[in-house]
Amino acid sequence: MAFDARAGERAGSRPRRDASRSALARRSRTLPPGAGPADDSDEPTSLPDSEPVTLRLDGRVALVTGAGSADGIGYATARRLRDLGARVAIVSTTRRIHDRATELGATGFVADLTDEAEVGALADAIAEQLGEVEVLVNNAGLASRASPEVLRPVAQLSYDEWHGEIERNLTTAFLCSRAFIGGMAERGWGRIVNLSATAGPVNALPTEAAYAAAKAGVVGLTRALAMEMVADGVTVNAVAPGTIYTAASTMAELKQGLGTPVGRPGTPDEVAAAITFLCSPAASYITGQMLVVDGGNSVREAQFR
């Protein structure tokens, strides 16, 4: 069923569940005396259960935002999540998302994720059609040919340009995360992976201040939310791609990729592999982290000729 959050009257913002409550599914196991850390007590030691070490996501509902391009990271991630058994929803701002959904066997939605009301309507529509979201990949915000990154020195950057970059790259992750964390906490399991970038958290280039600030903010949001959700079985991590060869890549970006230690730009599927690992039960002991996928570029101290 097609869904467009802007078709007809907008819904009000969706009431949030109380994510501060302890998870209903949180369990513990008891170790016999002497099996735990040494202390002066013979009382049994209690530890939380660990998850099975598996990559499979059979039956879980996953949402990938910003998956409108067939050559992008969002699309590659949705395909991998589908292959791991997840029931996948994808969303973008244009109706081309329905073409991607048909190709993937996923469910497509159209929504402006910078709009609080549309995010609430999206959450309700996914719950109705697929069930509650358990895996969220906040990929929306990466630049495209239709919506290019603003490249302008701070002295020449308008407030609207600054605000637009923050909204597109950071506010989308905040609104989508807030819409789904309550349900994840109630069920005692969830995965959130936010797309950051090396620009901002690791390095920066002139004219990229707004983008870099937004992507650094994504990492801050990731770490803070990870600590808020850690007791509820929900992990929150970030992936920071370097130069990746997509349909939106410029010639300058591709040349940057050739200059990495690996000697080429990365591919969307290589980034998707990192994302989907962090979405899996196998990554249950990883939270609040940023995984850099840049061919070693941020490690190299200098480029020698």
**Do residues 298 and 198 make contact, with C-beta atoms less than 8 angstroms apart?**
yes
Largest pairwise CA distance in the chain: 68
Domain 61-293: CATH superfamily is NAD(P)-binding Rossmann-like Domain (3.40.50.720)
pLDDT value at position 146? 55
Residue in 75, 159, 211, 245 annotated catalytic: 211
Decide if 285 is catalytic: no
pLDDT value at position 248? 79
How far, in Å, CA of 14 to CA of 32, rounded? 46
Task: Kindly give the parts of the chain with pLDDT less than 50.
Answer: 1, 8-13, 15-35, 38
pLDDT value at position 118? 98
Q: CA torsion sign, 28 to 34 to 35 to 40?
A: positive
pLDDT value at position 212? 96
Nearest to 57 by CA among 119, 118, 136: 136
Specify which residues 244 forms β-bridges with. 266
Three-class DSSP category at 288: coil
pTM, to two decimals: 0.87
DSSP states of 26-39 as a string?
--EEEEPTTSSS--
Nearest to 234 by CA among 283, 276, 201: 283
Domain ranges of the chain: 61-293
pLDDT value at position 292? 98
pLDDT value at position 52? 80
Cβ neighbours of residue 158 under 8 Å, at least 6 residues apart?
none
